[in-house]
Amino acid sequence: MVHIDDYRPIVGDSVLDELMMLSAHLRGRRVQHINSTAVGGGVAEILTRMVPLLNQLGVETRWDVIRGDERFFATTKKFHNGLHGIPVDISDAEFNAFLEVDRENAAAMTFDDIVFVHDPQPIALVEERELRGGRWLWRCHIDFSRPVKNVWTFLEKYIARYDSAVFSAPAFARSLSIPQALISPSIDPLSDKNRALPEGTIDEVFRRFSIDRSRPVVTQISRFDYLKDPLGVIKAYKLVKKHLDVQLVLAGGGATDDPEGPAVMQTVREEAEKDKDIIVLFLPPSSDIEINALQRGSTIVLQKSLREGFGLTVAEALWKGRPTIASAVGGIPLQIAHKYSGILTHSIEGTAFWIKQLLHEPAFAQRLGANGHEHIKHNYLITRHIRDYLLLFLSLFHDGDVVDLSAGASSTVTRG
């Protein structure tokens, strides 16, 4: 287990000192995070690292996971797709069954001073707010820019009952009756997925998965989800393969709240069987070292999402100095300045073009990776994320614009 002081060599004394100052003003307050899965996906990964660090800072924090049956998660997957702008058909019976599951979870739970609900699955827990008190926050980690009407109409009436809503990028902000905060996700530079690895460890992982490091390796690591466009990645690879001898690695896993994963995985495997240089890897949740090694050892990293809330795999690859090509969707353009810290693309053909360009221009590719590392260091590490949350928590208990954080100093916390 890392300690909060272990981040000083990476982010500097001033960052850690500020976290300690802010957290001191939350002593006695209890924070409760609630989501729908303990493993798989960026939310669980962030909370796994953040909750212990908040407790080390003296902010009493816990994390609860709601339970649901197969029908519940099939419905919430429709919510997920609908929020991404994909038309979905959800019956009144499905909406009612969803609410019943949330109400059953609420009846079995206790709630703390600050209740931080993540994504649509537990959203209706807020029905308990008037009875049980507390400050309630709802965070959406999904690309919320073009939600379909039926899903948005249903969710909006619950969002409006929270004290504040949190989104990952400006494009996701909505017209709401409650204050909104824009807080980007983060990666932990000291986690197994992101810490420095010996070259021998990278070599061993590539040997284990029969990947040839003497030839270029193009890799996409993400959940097996149609919105990550793994079939589009294969098409782009095939365009490149006509001209260059490359290998493609598609690696990732699933999440317990995503019932579509196995079907996507099967489709990808069937397509990959046609080419021995396409390696498909289904990785269990304990595969952080393997993911780290695959990213560090790859020539180019892709994230060809069709929709994306933020895309932490982009931040992971950039942190490791890897030249990264990603779709210009969701929160990805916040992480990549085109042709400076990475490459943004809009099509299969564009992705293939830039793979070829970077393979032909390794010096340019190396500069992209170096710039990307610095951008992530200064903007998307977990210490910045914790700071934003601490300020958000403090704002819940102050009606004015200015919160006095220390003797002779103040910081502005804007509500709205």
pLDDT at 399: 62
With beta carbons less than 8 A apart as the criterion, state whether 326 and 332 touch: yes
With beta carbons less than 8 A apart as the criterion, state whether 145 and 167 touch: no
pLDDT averaged over the chain? 91
Each residue's pLDDT tens digit, 275-334: 999 999 999 888 999 999 999 999 999 999 998 888 999 999 999 999 999 999 989 999
pLDDT band at residue 411, thresholds of 50, 70 and 90? very low
pLDDT at 403: 39
DSSP strand pairing (300-303 vs 278-282): unpaired
How far apart are the C-alpha atoms of 83 and 62, rounded to whole Å?
28
For residue 1, pLDDT over 90 is answered with no
Each residue's pLDDT tens digit, 151-203: 999 999 999 999 999 998 888 888 899 999 999 999 999 999 999 999 999 99
Mean pLDDT of 56-75: 95
Quote the distance between the C-alpha of residue 378 and its chain's center: 18
Q: How many residues does the chain have?
A: 416
Mean pLDDT of 17-34: 96
**Residue 318 vs residues 220, 292, 406: alpha-carbon distances, Å:** 13, 12, 36
For residue 64, pLDDT over 90 is answered with yes
For the chain, list the domains and their CATH numbers.
4-186+381-412 (3.40.50.2000), 199-379 (3.40.50.2000)
Q: What residue type is 313 in one-letter code?
A: T
In degrees, rounded to 5, the angle at the alpha carbon of residue 170 between the alpha carbons of residues 173 and 175 is: 20
pLDDT at 56: 97
Each residue's pLDDT tens digit, 111-164: 999 999 999 999 999 999 989 999 999 999 888 788 899 999 999 999 999 999
In degrees, rounded to 5, the angle at the alpha carbon of residue 57 between the alpha carbons of residues 8 and 159 is: 115
Determine what percent of the chain is predicted with pLDDT higher than 90. 79
**Residue 414 vs residues 180, 390, 403, 407: alpha-carbon distances, Å:** 10, 13, 10, 20
For residue 407, pLDDT over 90 is answered with no
pLDDT at 161: 96
* All residues at 6 or more sequence positions from 75 whose CB lies less than 8 Å from its CB, including other chains: 90, 94, 95, 97, 98
